[in-house]
């Protein structure tokens, strides 16, 4: 497939493979699936491997990215040179993915919002991937220790304290990264939401770490909470304190958007957040990222649909899927038909 600058539309009925194309592009650029956690699920039914590659031009520099997955093993390359770690690969080319499923950012649980934050931060702070991997290993080890019981013996307490030191050190960095990004996202998201709502409502995004919405207070309370909750953690046999339990609160006029926002308001929040993500990346990298839109226009009213389409004019490249593109043929630089996994150009 050869894509052009500007807006490319992938047109086709549901179930023809449009979303697979976007997911393949996203996976190639990030090394992660936007949809599933197990990479095996991305392979064709009955297969245990897949191979993706793409040629890109970034700031007049040609790049080839490759990702080969086979038997639970992944090899990723930049210009045919293997990367030892995912953190060396992610962020080479930035991407933002927007689909109707993103409504879960507002309506879903804290895990979905943490995942959104981490996927974005990892694209321009490669160390964040290393921090998350290290934190998850420590979390698993401490949980395993707590499940063993031992009735709060001196030996168990000493081991828990050692793991707590790691949770404090690594977790504090994760919290700080998330806090900083949420602040950037909130300022841009507030501005964009104000335009979408004609200034009738104010959007705020607050990152709550360890139950607090102030960074310094959260970091100061972290070691105290680890010590205070040790007995409760041993009783429940699970880790209760750390950034794996943090959350973002979306508010409209100081009221929870998850609890009190209408479906239309929640969709506007997601749209504002995604466009804010584009702006934050542009500020930090100097260029807009690739934008992938998976059948989102059908979920937006006319005003928000036109707002999004007008917004894409300022981007270098947008790839969008939809079932019918009749009304958008004049906006598209390239129109492709997807049917039964096959792709053809529509003149």
Tokens of 6: 């500007």
Dist. CA 119–CA 169, nearest whole Å:
21
Tell me if 13 is assigned to a ligand binding site. Answer: yes
Please give the DSSP secondary-structure letter assigned to residue 339: E
Query: What is residue 30's three-state secondary structure?
Result: helix
Tell me if 18 is assigned to a ligand binding site. Answer: yes
Tell me if 32 is assigned to a ligand binding site. Answer: no
Q: Are 109 and 152 in contact (CB under 8 A)?
A: no
Tokens of 157: 């307490």
Tell me if 16 is assigned to a ligand binding site. Answer: yes
Helix, strand, coil percentages for the chain (3-state, nearest 5): 50, 20, 25
Tell me if 273 is assigned to a ligand binding site. Answer: no
Dist. CA 18–CA 8, nearest whole Å:
12
Tell me if 17 is assigned to a ligand binding site. Answer: yes
Tell me if 49 is assigned to a ligand binding site. Answer: no
Vertex 27: Cα angle to 177 and 74 (nearest 5): 95
The DSSP string of 134-190 is HHHHHHHHHHHHHHT-GGG-HHHHHHHHHHHHHHHHHHHHHHHHHHHHHHHHHHHHH
- As beta bridge partners, residue 342 has 339
The DSSP string of 209-269 is BTTBS-HHHHHHHHHHHHHHTHHHHHHHTS--SSGGG-EEEEEETTEEHHHH--HHHHHHH
Q: Helix count (H) and strand count (E) of the chain?
A: 10, 13
Tell me if 19 is assigned to a ligand binding site. Answer: yes
Helix or strand run (H / E) with residue 96? strand 95-98
Binding site members = 12-19
Binding site members for ATP = 12-19
């Amino acid at each position: 497939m050869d894509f052009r600058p500007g807006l490319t539309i992938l047109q086709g009925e549901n179930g023809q493979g449009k979303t697979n194309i976007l997911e393949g592009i996203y996976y190639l650029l990030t090394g992660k699936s936007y949809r599933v956690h197990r990479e095996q699920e991305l392979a064709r039914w009955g297969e245990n491997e897949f191979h993706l590659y793409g040629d890109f031009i970034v700031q007049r520099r040609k790049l080839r990215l490759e990702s080969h997955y086979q038997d639970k093993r992944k090899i990723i390359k930049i210009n045919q040179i293997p990367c030892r770690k995912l953190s060396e690969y992610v962020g080479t080319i930035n991407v933002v993915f927007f689909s109707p499923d993103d409504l879960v950012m507002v309506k879903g649980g804290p895990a979905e919002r943490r995942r959104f934050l981490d996927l974005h931060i990892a694209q321009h702070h490669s160390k964040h991937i290393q921090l998350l991997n290290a934190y998850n290993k420590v979390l698993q080890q401490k949980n395993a220790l707590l499940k063993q019981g031992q009735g709060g013996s001196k030996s168990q307490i000493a081991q828990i304290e050692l793991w707590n030191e790691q949770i404090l050190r690594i977790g504090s960095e994760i919290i700080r990264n998330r806090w900083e990004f949420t602040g950037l996202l909130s300022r841009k998201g507030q501005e964009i939401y104000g335009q979408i709502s004609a200034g009738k409502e104010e959007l705020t995004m607050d990152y709550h770490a360890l139950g607090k919405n102030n960074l310094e207070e959260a970091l100061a309370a972290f070691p105290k909470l680890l010590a205070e909750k040790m007995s409760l953690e041993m009783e429940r046999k699970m880790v209760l304190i750390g950034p794996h339990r943090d959350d973002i609160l979306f508010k409209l006029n100081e009221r929870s958007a998850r609890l009190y926002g209408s479906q239309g308001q929640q969709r506007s929040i997601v749209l504002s957040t995604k466009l804010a993500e584009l702006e934050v990346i542009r500020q930090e990298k100097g260029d807009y990222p690739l934008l992938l839109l998976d059948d989102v226009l059908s979920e937006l009213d006319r005003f928000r649909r036109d707002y999004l389409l007008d917004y894409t004019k300022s981007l270098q490249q947008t790839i969008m899927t939809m079932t019918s593109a009749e009304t958008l043929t004049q906006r598209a630089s390239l129109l492709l038909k997807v049917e039964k996994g096959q792709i053809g150009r529509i003149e």
